[in-house]
Chain A
Amino acid sequence: MKHKEYDVAIVGGGFSGLVAAGILKDHDLDILIVDETNRLGGQYLKTHPIRSNPDTERNSLQEIGFRQIENIEGGRVKIMTRTRVLEINDRRELLLEHDLEQLFVLTPEIILLAAGAREKFVPFKGWTLPGVISTGAVQIMMKGSGVIPAEDMIIGGSGLFLYTVASEVITNGGRVSTIFDENSIIQKLSFTKNLIGQGEKLKEGFGQAARILFSPTRMRHRYRIVEARGENELEEISVAKVDRLGAVIPGSERVQPCECLAVGNGFAANIELGLLAGCSPEYDTDKGGWVIAAAENLETSVPGVFAAGEITGVGGAHKSITEGKLAALSILNKLGKIDDFQYADETRSLRKERKRHLQFGSAFNALTHLSPEKINSISDDTILCRCEDITMGQIKGAIVAGCRTPVAVKRAIRTGMGICQGRICTPVLYEIIGGFTRTPIHELTPLSVRGPVKAVPLEVLAKPISLLKPDFPNG
C-alpha cells in the first residue's frame, strides 16, 4: 500500500521558501521545508541567534520575513534545518541528510526549489591569499556572529552589493578605506533610474550611499584589483584603471598596503539541484547567467517541480517574495486547491510585480557582467579552480589543445572536480570558454551535476535510509 507522502517539499528557507510555506500551510496540505543552515531566513534574515543587533532596526522586508517564520512555525509545516538535499532524481525522489546523522527519502507530490544564489568572483592573481575574503562572508560574519573580519578593509569588485556591505561595515564601527568599483560612476548612476517607483529599495540605496558618503571611505570608479600579494597572508594589493570595456589600462597599476580585501562580482543562481532533478537551464545575462528555466507559473520543465527566487534569476529579496507567493498559488492551482479563476485573479498583480523585479534584476546584473575584455585581463598565473589549484594558463592551454566545451576542459584538466564541486569556478569558466572559443554561452551545455550535490562524509552516506512521512495526521 502506498503511504502518505508530503504534498509539497520546499528546498531552501530563504524569502521565497518562507513566503510560499506561509501561503501553502492553510490549505490542508502536508508541507516540508528544509534548509542547510541552523535556522530559517536565508542570507537576508541572517541575525545573531542569541543577540539581536539593537542598533540596526529591522527594515520592513525583515519584518515580513520574521513574521513569516513565526507564521509557519505554528502551522502544519514540518521545518527541518541543518538538512541538506543530497540528491534529487527525475522521479521527484529526494535524498535528505539531517545533521550529519540521518538519511531520509521522500517523494513529494510537488517540489519547490528555492535554493538561492551564491557569490560570483572574477579571479585575479593572489586572490587565494588568506585575507582575501568575499563581501558575502563579511556580511554573514557581521550579521551572524557580530565579528568584523578586520579593523580596516578595502572592498573591490563590481555590483551594488559592494556598497551594501561597505555601509554595514561602517554602521558596525568598522573602517572601509576604499571601494574599488570596476564600473564607472555613470553606469552606477544610470542604475538608479530602476529604483524609481520602488520606494523600499530607493530608501535602502540612499541610506547606504549616505553612510558611505559621510564616512572617510574613498570611492574609486573604474578600478580593478589586479593582484593580491603577501608572504603567507595578504599584505598589499595592486589596483589598476580599466577602460570603458573593462580592459586594464597598461601602466596604471598602483600598489598599496592592505590587510583585508573583500571582493565580489554579483551572484550566480544555485541551479545544481534543479539540473539534478532534470530541469532545463537557460542562460540569460539579465538573470545573472545560468538559471533554472521556469514558465509564467514558475513550474520548471519537469512537471511538479517549481522554482522560485534567485534560482530563476538573480533579482533580490523583493523578487524572491513575489515569486514565493506566485509559486505557492500556482502549486495550489495545480493541486486543485484554488480554481483557475481565483488563480488568475490572485496572481495578476504578482505577475506585474515580477516583471518589474526582473527589470530591476537585469540592471543589477548588468553591473557585474563579465565582458570578454575583463576575462582577457585575467593573467595566466591566476588560480581559477581553487580546489584543484588550476590556473587560467592551464585553462587557455586546454582550449588551445581543442577542448571547446566546459565538459571537455573539465575532463582534460580537472577544473571544477574538487570538493566544492565547481561552485566557485564554473560560472566564470563558462564565460572564459565562451569568450575564447567565440561561442555564445547559451550554446555551451552546462556541466552535468552528479549527486551528492554537496560533499558528504562517507560515514553519513552509509547511514540507513528511512522514509520521511508527514508528522501530521491527514485531515
Chain B
Amino acid sequence: MLPKFADVVIIGGGVIGSSVAYHLAKEKIGAVVLEKEDFISGSSGACEGLLLLQSKKPGIHLELAMASTRRFPQLSEELGSEIEYEQKGGLVIIESEEELDAMKLFVEKQKACGVDLTLLDRDQTLEMEPALSPHIIGATYSPFEGQVNPFLLTRAFLGAAEKLGAKVFTHAEVRGIGISKRHINAVNTTKGRIETPLVINAAGASAGVIGDLVNLNIPVKPRRGQILVTESVPPLVRYCILSAAYIAAKFNPSLAESGGMGFAVEQTKNGNVLIGSTREFVGFDRQTTFDGVNTIAGQILRVFPRFKDLHVIRAYAGLRPYTPDGLPILGPVEGLEGFIMAAGHEGDGITLSPVTGEIIAKVITREKIPFPMDHFKLERFDTAS
C-alpha cells in the first residue's frame, strides 16, 4: 500500500532515482520511489556498465563525470553490496587519420581538464589489447576509466536507501501531479495518491512525459541504443573500449552518418562481451531491429576479428534520455515550487549516478553545491509548452 503522505516522491526507480533516494536517505529524508514497471526494467537495465571520461565533453560535463567516477572505488563498500566495479582503464580506438586529428585536439582539451590521458600508436595499442585488428591507427588511453554492473549498482542504491528508510513501489505509474498555487502538493498513481510537497523527476527517457503532466516542456527525447550480448567466455577484452567514431556520433550526429555509429565494448565480470550500440530516434520503441543487430555485428568484427566465433546469445535495446546539449537537467524549476529535475543523462546515467544523487540531495537540504548549476537548469532550453 502506498503511504498517504511523503516528504519526497521520486518518479523513476532507475539508477538515477535510486541514487537520489539513497543520498536523501543518508540525510535522513525517507523518500518514496515510484517505478512504473518492475525493478530496473527501463534503461538502467538495458545499457552497458562503462564508466567513461573520454566520452564526456571537456568542461562542466567532464568535471561532473570526474567527480562521479571518484566515488566508484568505495561505492560497493559504502552501499554494502557487490556492484562488480572494475577499474580496467579505457581505450578509444582510432581507425583513420581524420579521427586521429580530431582525437589529438580532444586529448589536449581533456588533459587541460585534468584527465590522465595518453595517445598510443598502433603497436602500443595492439600490445595492450591484442584482440584488436592491426588495421587500427592507435588509441587514447585513460587509466581511471572502468566498468560496473548496472543492475547491481541500481539494486545496491535501492537496497541501501530502503535500509535507511526509503520506500520503493513497483508497478506504480504516475498519472497526474497535483499543483496548488504553483506549488506541488500530490502525486496520483495507478496504485493510489500520495500527498507530497516535493517531486523529483527521475523518469529517464520518460522525463518529458512527466513534464507534460505539469505543463512543462522538458526536451528529453528517447534515443534508442541496441546492444549485443555474447556467451560468457574467458577474459578476451582487457579494457573498456570505445571507438573514436562513437564519440563523434555522440556529439555530432552528421559526422556519425558518414563515419558509422561507432562501438562500445566491455567484457563483464561474468565473461559476457557487451557490444553496443546504435543511436536512433524512434520514439519509445524498445525493440531491436534486424538491421541494427546486423550492423553492430559487422562493425565489431572489423575491429575485433577474433570475436567471429563468439556466440551472440541475446540483443536488447534501451532508451537513452537525450537532451539537445548532451547535459542532464538537474535542480529546481522556476515557477513550480517543489518540482525538481534529475533526468536527461543520455548515455551517462550510470557514470553520473553518484554525483547526481549528491547534487539533488543538496538541492533539497539547501546545502552548497560545488558545481555551477546554471549549466543544468531546465530554463536553458525554451520551456514554453
Contacts and interface: CB of A to CB of B under 8 A. Distances in A.
Interface residues of B, number: 33
A455 B39 contact: no
B39 A411 contact: yes
Given A411-B45, A462-B298, A462-B301, A455 B290 contact: no
A185 interface: no
B231 A419 contact: yes
A230 B308 CA distance: 37
Nearest to B289: A89
B313 interface: yes
A68 interface: no
Contacts of B307: 458
B232 A95 contact: no
B301 A418 contact: no
A463 B294 CA distance: 7
Interface in B166-224: none
B311 to A, nearest CB: 4
B312 interface: yes
A455 B301 contact: no
Nearest to B162: A402
Interface string B269-313: 010000000000000000111110110011011000001111111
Contact of A452 (B289, B300, B308, B315): B315
A465 B291 contact: yes
A87 B293 CA distance: 11
B38 interface: yes
A456 B228 CA distance: 11
Contact of B314 (A93, A451, A462, A463): A451
Contact of A87 (B270, B290, B301, B308): B290
Contact of A461 (B41, B270, B312): B312
Nearest to B291: A465
B133 interface: no
A199 B361 CA distance: 75
Interface in A429-454: 450-452
A452 B312 contact: yes
B96 interface: no
A418 B233 CA distance: 11
Given A407-B38, A458-B307, A458-B308, A450 B298 contact: no
Given A407-B38, A465-B291, A457 B298 contact: no
Contacts of A418: 231-232, 313
Contacts of A461: 228, 293-294, 297, 312
A455 B313 contact: yes
B312 A450 contact: no
A408 B170 CA distance: 12
Nearest to B273: A458
Nearest to B316: A450
The DSSP consensus for interface residues of chain B is mixed
Contacts of B311: 419, 455-458
B301 A451 contact: no
B300 A458 contact: yes
A458 B298 CA distance: 8
Given A93-B290, A461-B293, A451 B40 contact: no
Interface in B14-54: 38-41, 45
A458 B290 contact: no
B313 A458 contact: no
B15 to A, nearest CB: 14
18 contacts: A87-B288, A87-B293, A412-B155, A414-B270, A450-B316, A451-B315, A452-B313, A456-B311, A456-B312, A457-B309, A457-B310, A458-B228, A458-B300, A458-B309, A458-B310, A459-B301, A461-B297, A461-B312
What are the 8 closest A-B residue pairs judged by CB atoms, nearest first? A459-B308, A462-B297, A455-B311, A461-B297, A450-B314, A462-B298, A419-B231, A95-B290
Interface of B: 38-41, 45, 151, 155, 228, 230-232, 270, 287-291, 293-294, 297-298, 300-301, 307-316
Interface of A: 87, 89-90, 93, 95, 103, 105, 387-388, 405, 407-408, 411-412, 414, 418-419, 421, 450-452, 455-459, 461-463, 465
Given A451-B288, A458-B311, 19 more contacts: A89-B287, A89-B290, A103-B294, A387-B232, A405-B38, A408-B38, A418-B232, A418-B313, A419-B231, A451-B293, A455-B312, A456-B312, A457-B312, A458-B309, A459-B309, A461-B312, A462-B298, A463-B294, A465-B290
